[in-house]
Amino acid sequence: MEELQRSFSPPPCPSTVTVRRNPPRRARATPFTTAAKPPSASANTHDVPAFPIDEILSIQIPQSEPKPSVTESLKIFLRIKPLKTVTKVTTTKSRPRNVWPQNPSKKNTAKENRNPENAKKKKSEEACIALNDAYSVTLTPPQALQELKRSKTEVYEGFSHVFPADCSQNDVYGKMVQPLLEDFMKGKSGMLAALGPSGSGKTHTVFGTPKDPGIVPLTLRQIFNKSDESSQGGSFRSFHLSIFEIYSERGKGEKAYDLLGDGSSELSVQQSTIRGLKEVQIRNLEEAESLIAQAMLKRATATTNSNSQSSRSQCIINIRAAHNGVSNETKTQSSDAMLTIVDLAGAEREKRTGNQGERLVESNFINNTSMVFGQCLRALLEYQKNRKKGFQKHHQNSLLTRYLRDYLEGKKRMALILTVKAGEEDYLDTSYLLKQASPYMKIKFDNTEEVCNKRQLKTFPRVERNKKMKLGVPKTSQNDESVAEAKNQISQEVNLKEKKADPTDKSSPRLEHVASDKSEREHIIMRNFAKVVWNVLKQYNEKLKVAEGAICSLKENLRSEQLKSRELETELNNLKSSCLPPKSNSAEPCIPEVEALGHAKEQFEVATSLANAESNVDEDPSNLIETRIEVSAEECNESPVPSKNVVPDLGNEDISCAKQDDPTPSPEQVEVSKNCNNNRLSNIQTESAISRRFPDSEKQERRLLPDTSRSLAEEMNDLDLNDNQIEKPQVKMAETRVQEKLESTQHRKVEVPAREAEPASAKKQRNGQKPKRRLQPASSVLLTREINTLEIEDDITERKGNRGGKKTTTGTVAAQPRSQGSVTLLRLLTNNLHL
């Protein structure tokens, strides 16, 4: 038996087990049969428990609390503004009496207009929006758009209530405000907002007129009625009012202004918090109404083509209910409730309003705010319809939406009233608003060209998606969930279309309109761009002219400076030429002036060269300077050596001037004078040579000197070579320096200024040979020194003699008359010696 059992027993488990996921299906008995039948023996090995359907059915499912639906936390109402009574004008207008025959077609139209039934018909034909029921409307594009483009009727559904054109303010209050106000009086916060295009009746709905009061006055009346009732019950309640507006002045960013504040009413804004807002307690209706009227006077309004008194700001009215409730014996302060009523500025299209300048900037701000508000609303609607999808936050993009964040995120209750205009010309505005803010949308393709268009639309994937988006009303259709995703897609796409108008997508008249707008915008952009380019070119042209003017003035300056420079050069040369005589005591003091002129010239030339380099004038400044240096050198060289008759006059009268009284010139003066001395020294040397070669017997009175030397000294005196103001050591120093200068001049010819090299170069150019001074024999040098010594001694004697008075001593050589022959001879000898 045991063996038999072993033989039937399953084999030992392997190390790995394979589990079969999908076992082969077997026909199973129904639960009833399996439940009735006792488990068989074979079922021990493959025991499948019976499906506990009875148990499941007997389970009592606990009833969960109903979640707030979209319509509970966010109620959207629609109000249609009555059409303008165009027919009135035609009917009341008296027909002009005209003798000319009338145009039959015009006559007929006039007849039709006069007929009230026809007028009514026309009125209804003009409207683009029609009421389906209390919760939905149908928007039909105007005939022009239908003909031009693919027509499409849109059905908007899911409104909490649609107020027809002939509804009263009380209707609106009763359906929209009353429930919210009741909650408010119980301590729940809530918000009411009016949204719609410009001139559609937002302000009318919110504030109304004294005859036809709107939401705010009706609410205040109700509040004080109710508070009176509740105050009779014994509880204490106070109400506080604050009003402010958000406005963008000239597009410089959003600012909040207190409409109840005094003086400077600008409020500080930090994220969503507005600080410094004045809150006034309101005790009765009159107080409250007067405060509202006061605030409305301060509100920014303007006249546009759409509205004679268009709101240019977002107006926010806060009514706070401070409720001090007493619960039993312990005093507890219940939380305050806030009722916020918002009158938004209406979105407007530039074309319709004709806004320009400041108004246009304002409308940009208004459009932006209403767009952001619409985005927040759309995101909230989509989120509430399908919470699986994330909640897209847009509230950061405007101050208003930041302030109303709690409401736009669905944390607090909000009732929104969309105001639309029903005219055909208002179709685009109305369609835009409804797409943005209506809970649900259904598109009807009821055009005969549908089939043809469908084929065409296959090329556009986005359009094809649109076709699938036939949405059902939540109240009437059964497939809410299946269409929810599709609706999301629609809304996203609508937003996308409105943001980035795709010109290739011709699926809707709106987009076609956008495409035509785009081409127009491009044209405007190109025109503006061309204007900008033109302005830039003009500016460059002006700059160019200014630059040319500056260049001209610089050139003129340069020319005038060049003239001045030439004048200075001439003057310098004149002065140099006057300083050139070899023997002139009086010439010595002029040297600093010459030096100064020389320096001035140098500086000027450098400045000129710089100016030339900077101004890029055609002339080469370096060449100019070089040329001038050469010219001046030539002028100096060619300047005739002044005759001995002339030099003393110059020295005594003109040049000696200030320095003549100074017996001891400064080392600078001595150093400066070396150039002029150069000539004199060479003359001295020459004369020494003359005296060596041609002894003169006339001058024999000289002591300690041979006759020849004495005669030479006399001749030198005749030539006025005696230098009264230069003492011997100074003369020697000057001589040595001159020698050095000459050497350096020969080596660095270019670097040496013309005035320094002047004496040597003058002789070089005149004679075409190097100066012979170096080639003179040593004896002549010695003789020169002796002569110098003697000369100085004579000078000293002469000075001593002159010190007593003006009378000259008879012993001085200078006073002795010279013979004409001796002068001529000396000149010849001088020239010959320098050859």
Ligand X SMILES: Nc1ncnc2c1ncn2[C@@H]1O[C@H](COP(=O)(O)OP(=O)(O)OP(=O)(O)O)[C@@H](O)[C@H]1O
Tell whether residue 753 is a contact of ligand X (CB under 6 A): no
Q: DSSP assignment, residue 557? A: H
Alpha-carbon gap, residue 242 to 221, rounded angstroms = 17
Residue closer to ligand X (CB basis): 204 or 773: 204
Of the candidate residues 196, 217, 410, 642, the single one contacting ligand X (CB under 6 A): 196
Residues forming a β-bridge with 760 = none
Residues whose CB falls within 8 Å of the CB of residue 255, separated by 6 or more in sequence, listed in order? 246, 247, 248, 249, 266, 267, 269
Q: How far is CA 432 from the centre of its chain?
A: 34
- Least separation, in Å, of the C-beta of 202 and ligand X? 4
**Subset of residues 285 to 344 that bind ligand X, contact rule: CB under 6 A:** 307, 309-311
Residue closer to ligand X (CB basis): 200 or 788: 200
- Spell out, one character per residue from 395 to 434, where the chain touches ligand X: x when CB under 6 A holds, - when not: ------------------------x---------------
Residue closer to ligand X (CB basis): 168 or 225: 168
- Least separation, in Å, of the C-beta of 460 and ligand X? 35
- Least separation, in Å, of the C-beta of 164 and ligand X? 10
Q: How far is CA 377 from the centre of its chain?
A: 34
Mutual orientation of helices 707-718 and 778-803 as an angle, nearest 10°?
60
Burial class (CB within 10 angstroms; exposed 0-12, middle 13-18, buried 19+) of 122? middle
Alpha-carbon gap, residue 387 to 90, rounded angstroms = 54
Task: Provide the annotated binding site for ATP.
Answer: 196-203
Residue closer to ligand X (CB basis): 337 or 433: 433
Q: Which helix (H) or strand (E) holds 623?
A: helix 621-638
- Least separation, in Å, of the C-beta of 291 and ligand X? 20
Residue closer to ligand X (CB basis): 349 or 465: 349
HEC string of 27-68 equals CCCCHHHHHHCCCCCHHHCCCCCCCCHHHHHHCCCCCCCCCC
Alpha-carbon gap, residue 394 to 415, rounded angstroms = 19
Alpha-carbon gap, residue 128 to 133, rounded angstroms = 16
Of the candidate residues 161, 202, 237, 323, the single one contacting ligand X (CB under 6 A): 202
Task: Provide the annotated binding site.
Answer: 196-203
Tell whether residue 204 is a contact of ligand X (CB under 6 A): yes
- Tokens 């495409």, residue located: 515
Sort strands 129-133 and 136-139 into parallel, antiparallel or unpaired: antiparallel
Sort strands 266-270 and 254-258 into parallel, antiparallel or unpaired: antiparallel
Single-letter amino acid code for the residue at 160 = S
Instruction: Decide if 407 contacts 401 (C-beta within 8 A).
Output: no
Tokens of 133: 């029921």
Alpha-carbon gap, residue 156 to 146, rounded angstroms = 19
- Least separation, in Å, of the C-beta of 346 and ligand X? 3
Smallest Cα–Cα separation from 257: which of 326, 316, 211, 198? Answer: 316
- Spell out, one character per residue from 72 to 111, where the chain touches ligand X: x when CB under 6 A holds, - when not: ---------xx-----------------------------
Tell whether residue 199 is a contact of ligand X (CB under 6 A): yes
- Least separation, in Å, of the C-beta of 166 and ligand X? 9
Q: Which stretch binds ligand X (CB under 6 A): 196-204, 245-253, 392-400, 741-749?
A: 196-204
Of the candidate residues 177, 345, 418, 625, the single one contacting ligand X (CB under 6 A): 345
Single-letter amino acid code for the residue at 744 = S
Triad 628, 631, 637: Cα angle to 5° = 140
Of the candidate residues 136, 140, 189, 198, the single one contacting ligand X (CB under 6 A): 198
Residue closer to ligand X (CB basis): 339 or 417: 417
- Least separation, in Å, of the C-beta of 183 and ligand X? 26
> How far, in Å, are 428, 546, 551 from residue 541 at the CA level?
47, 9, 15
Give phi and psi for 404, each to the nearest 5: -95, 25
Smallest Cα–Cα separation from 274: which of 259, 258, 285? Answer: 258
- Least separation, in Å, of the C-beta of 297 and ligand X? 15
Helices first, then strands: H and E counts in the chain: 32, 19
Residue closer to ligand X (CB basis): 2 or 166: 166
Residue closer to ligand X (CB basis): 196 or 651: 196
Give phi and psi for 418, each to the nearest 5: -95, 125
Helix (H, G, I), strand (E, B) or coil at 17: coil
Of the candidate residues 136, 151, 189, 200, the single one contacting ligand X (CB under 6 A): 200
**Subset of residues 587 to 626 that bind ligand X, contact rule: CB under 6 A:** none
Q: Which stretch binds ligand X (CB under 6 A): 87-95, 191-199, 458-466, 500-508?
A: 191-199
Tell whether residue 248 is a contact of ligand X (CB under 6 A): no
Residue closer to ligand X (CB basis): 346 or 374: 346
- Least separation, in Å, of the C-beta of 353 and ligand X? 9
Residue closer to ligand X (CB basis): 309 or 664: 309
Residue closer to ligand X (CB basis): 79 or 628: 79
Instruction: Decide if 274 contacts 258 (C-beta within 8 A).
Output: no
Tell whether residue 214 is a contact of ligand X (CB under 6 A): no
Of the candidate residues 141, 190, 201, 374, the single one contacting ligand X (CB under 6 A): 201
Q: Which stretch binds ligand X (CB under 6 A): 194-202, 484-492, 590-598, 776-784?
A: 194-202
Longest dimension (CA), the chain: 184
Tell whether residue 503 is a contact of ligand X (CB under 6 A): no
> How far, in Å, are 140, 316, 370, 409, 585 from residue 376 at the CA level?
26, 18, 10, 8, 106
Instruction: Decide if 345 contacts 419 (C-beta within 8 A).
Output: no
Residue closer to ligand X (CB basis): 196 or 759: 196
Length of the chain: 835
- Least separation, in Å, of the C-beta of 521 and ligand X? 24
**Subset of residues 698 to 717 that bind ligand X, contact rule: CB under 6 A:** none
Tell whether residue 346 is a contact of ligand X (CB under 6 A): yes
Single-letter amino acid code for the residue at 14 = P
Residue closer to ligand X (CB basis): 131 or 733: 131
Number of residues that bind ligand X (CB under 6 A): 17
Q: Which stretch binds ligand X (CB under 6 A): 200-208, 245-253, 409-417, 677-685?
A: 200-208
Residue closer to ligand X (CB basis): 195 or 672: 195
Q: Which stretch binds ligand X (CB under 6 A): 192-200, 330-338, 370-378, 546-554?
A: 192-200
Residue closer to ligand X (CB basis): 212 or 701: 212
Q: Which stretch binds ligand X (CB under 6 A): 14-22, 198-206, 573-581, 625-633?
A: 198-206
- Least separation, in Å, of the C-beta of 359 and ligand X? 11
Tell whether residue 203 is a contact of ligand X (CB under 6 A): yes
Smallest Cα–Cα separation from 814: which of 682, 721, 686, 705? Answer: 721
Single-letter amino acid code for the residue at 29 = A
Q: Which stretch binds ligand X (CB under 6 A): 199-207, 658-666, 802-810, 822-830?
A: 199-207
- Least separation, in Å, of the C-beta of 487 and ligand X? 28
Cβ neighbours around 632 below 10 Å, total: 21
- Least separation, in Å, of the C-beta of 206 and ligand X? 8
- Least separation, in Å, of the C-beta of 372 and ligand X? 16
Instruction: Decide if 355 contacts 348 (C-beta within 8 A).
Output: yes
Tell whether residue 644 is a contact of ligand X (CB under 6 A): no
Full DSSP string of 681-742: HHHHHHHHHHHHHS--SS----TTS-HHHHHHHHHHHHTT---SS--HHHHHHHHHHHHHHH
Instruction: Decide if 77 contacts 159 (C-beta within 8 A).
Output: yes
- Least separation, in Å, of the C-beta of 304 and ligand X? 7
Using CB under 6 A as the criterion, which residues of the chain lie in contact with ligand X when the complex forms?
Answer: 81-82, 196, 198-204, 307, 309-311, 345-346, 419
